[in-house]
Amino acid sequence: MSNPTARILEHFEQINSFPRCSKNEARLCHWLQQWAQDRHLAYQCDDEGNLVVRVPASPGYDGAPTVVLQGHLDMVCEKTPDSPHDFNKDPIVSHREGEWLTAHGTTLGADNGIAVAYMLTLAEEHGPAHPALDLLFTVDEETGLNGAKCLGPDFIQGRLLINLDSEDEGVFTIGCAGGVDTHLVLDGQTEAVPDNAAVYKIVVGGLKGGHSGIDIHKHRGNANKILARTLAHIRSKSALGLMMLNGGSRKNAIPRDAQALFWVEAAQHSWIEDATRQMAAIIKTELAANADDFFIQASPATDTAGDRKAFSHRDTERAIEVLLALPDGVARMSADMQELVETSSNLATMEMVGNRLCIVTSQRSSIMSRLDEITAAIHSIGRLAAAHVQDKEAYPAWQPAMDSELLKQCQDVYRRLYDREPVIQVIHAGLECAIIGDIFPRMDMISLGPTLRNAHSPDERLHIPSITKVWDFLVELLARMKP
């Protein structure tokens, strides 16, 4: 294959032509089945939409163990506020910026479309030599590893698994955090907005966002928390009534934008814009280098027709207090691994729907008892605020196996190719390896991938030279598995 990187990127562009937000991967899955049929490859699709394509061994590799290559079909669909992109129908439009590939105002979808592109390229008729391969394409990963949770115990044949969902070339991931999402619902009493009220809108924006696990320690600011603090600052000077509250869009993304609509007595509103500017200055100092594009804007809302109901003062207080109290960010660093976040929480989304405020938090930890601890604290806060609280989408941690034979083989190949040691890490994010390891207890697993930055945000970008290095590594690793 004369230029494998170009071929990988061609496949990636094909993948990005299909809308594939979580739970909307069916068209891409059908295309992959047709791709397999055209190459006379056996495949199987389960009721959830997970797909495995079985690629026969190259000549001379018939006695080698089957290798599972795995990635997920869905992507996080985030865009800038001014982007007209429709994730239900529009393809992702990518472009190069030097050595990087990025998209126009949207997530790029390299998480995890690049894994799919690698697998298609490896399985091509004139591709590199390899043992038998199970190409495992899972669905609905980004909303809770849900596709992997439904894999049947006989769905894949191999017991060596290479997950292609890591984001730093030269880094091998051998463990990950477990996680759980908690939903809180506050029922409030709504009242008519007084005719003589002053109605204001506050918008928080310009934050960097990012992955709520990988980027949680990078001091990027959470728009939901910042908006809650701003409302609390205003509330300290005047009672107010919340008419609208909205922030964040994905449970696994740090919120970049949030907004609120509220009323105060008309005679008391003149200082609100000054108070908001004061809070913006405080937050900019806290965010330091991450504050370049950050803003908080307060402005009179002149058009509120059809939206003249608000939470009572009492329930507005409840809403603000619970948002202030909910934990957000790093809760604890690992005692065993330097610079590893052990436990964290992300105040992911909030939305007023009628007389309800719906909040979602996402907790992660590499120690399951610590995950239970921080989740119990969130439950306590919810109960104190008389909220309905429910956990959803839980998944276990993947405990590292330092004696893994696959890890040793990967280390040896990497040393020989690049004359340096690869980095071995455990990450503060969920990987499907944790689920797959539960279903297939004897699975020897590792996770790797090309360099990706700012996943789960419109700033997502993929380092093109690293694509080539990962390709060369995979080719050499598979070639060495000849019996």
- Residues designated catalytic: 74, 141
The SS3 assignment for 359 reads strand
CA distance linking residue 148 with residue 122, whole number of Å: 22
- Residue 258 burial (CB count, 10 A): 26
**What is the DSSP secondary structure assignment for residue 333, as one 8-state letter?**
E
Query: Contact 121/113 with Cβ under 8 angstroms?
Result: no
- CA 175 from centre of chain: 17
Cα torsion 56, 62, 63, 64 to 10°: value is: -50
Closest CA to 473 of 407, 405, 406, 410: 410
Query: Contact 74/21 with Cβ under 8 angstroms?
Result: yes
| Encoded amino acid at 371, one letter | L
Query: Contact 164/115 with Cβ under 8 angstroms?
Result: yes
CA distance linking residue 446 with residue 400, whole number of Å: 9
Cα torsion 166, 167, 170, 171 to 10°: value is: -50
Structure tokens at 39: 């190459």
Query: Contact 310/191 with Cβ under 8 angstroms?
Result: yes
The SS3 assignment for 432 reads helix
Query: Contact 246/258 with Cβ under 8 angstroms?
Result: yes
Report the relative pairing of strands 341-353 and 241-247 from DSSP bridges: antiparallel
**What is the DSSP secondary structure assignment for residue 79, as one 8-state letter?**
B
Structure tokens at 257: 């934008």
Query: Contact 156/278 with Cβ under 8 angstroms?
Result: no
DSSP annotation string for 238-299: S--EEEEEEE-S-TTB----EEEEEEEEGGG-TTHHHHHHHHHHHHHHHHGGG-TT-EEEEE
**What is the DSSP secondary structure assignment for residue 90, as one 8-state letter?**
P
